């Protein structure tokens, strides 16, 4: 699970592992202060911030808002949309993002700043239909 660090040419140090694990473990509660207090005995806070910023710069994590409107750090997912079969629960990645032009239109015509969008397609896959 640390492959992403190697992919981004980051050496796997104990401190980076600790911060990485905490972001994973806290999920929706992965705020900077939670991460800092959870590893206070092992990593000092300025190092935690440095590691988080490095993860941000490398595109490993991104800032998000959780349900309580707190800024959290979450692992960045590759942008993509999926078809999910309601019968066998298979997920299949759709070929390309159908919304890029919509985002562009909103930014250029309306002057909005688009941050993200999600599309989920649900249905019954060919295999299940043929059964």
- Residue 60, both tokens: 């490993």
Q: Which of residues 51-90 bind Zn ion (CB under 5 A)?
A: 85, 87-88
Question: What is the side-by-side strand order in the sheet with 82-85?
Answer: 91-93, 82-85, 120-123
Instruction: Kindly state whether residue 102 participates in binding Zn ion, applying the rule CB under 5 A.
Output: no
- Residue 89 neighbours by CB under 8 Å, 6+ apart: none
| Beta pairing, strands 120-123 & 82-85 | parallel
- Could you say which of 54, 97, 106, 114 contacts Zn ion (CB under 5 A)? 97
Q: How many residues bind Zn ion (CB under 5 A)?
A: 7
Binding mask 14-53 for Zn ion (x = CB under 5 A): ----------------------------------------
Distance CA 87, CA 16 (A): 40
Q: Which of residues 110-129 bind Zn ion (CB under 5 A)?
A: 125, 128
- Residue 93 neighbours by CB under 8 Å, 6+ apart: 80, 81, 82
Closer CB to Zn ion, 37 or 59, in the complex:
59
Closer CB to Zn ion, 1 or 95, in the complex:
95
Residues engaged in binding Zn ion (CB under 5 A): 85, 87-88, 97, 99, 125, 128
């Amino acid at each position: 699970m640390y492959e992403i660090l190697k992919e981004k040419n980051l050496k796997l140090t104990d401190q980076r592992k600790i911060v990485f694990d905490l972001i994973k473990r806290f999920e929706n509660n992965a705020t900077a202060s939670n991460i800092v207090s959870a590893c206070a005995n092992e990593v000092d806070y300025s190092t935690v911030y440095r590691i988080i910023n490095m993860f941000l710069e490398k595109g490993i994590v991104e800032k998000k808002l959780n349900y309580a409107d707190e800024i959290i750090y979450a692992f960045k997912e590759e942008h993509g949309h999926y078809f999910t079969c309601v019968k066998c629960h298979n997920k299949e990645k759709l070929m390309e993002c159908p919304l890029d032009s919509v985002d562009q239109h909103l930014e250029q015509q309306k002057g909005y700043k688009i941050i993200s969008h999600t599309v989920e397609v649900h249905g019954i896959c060919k295999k299940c239909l043929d059964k």
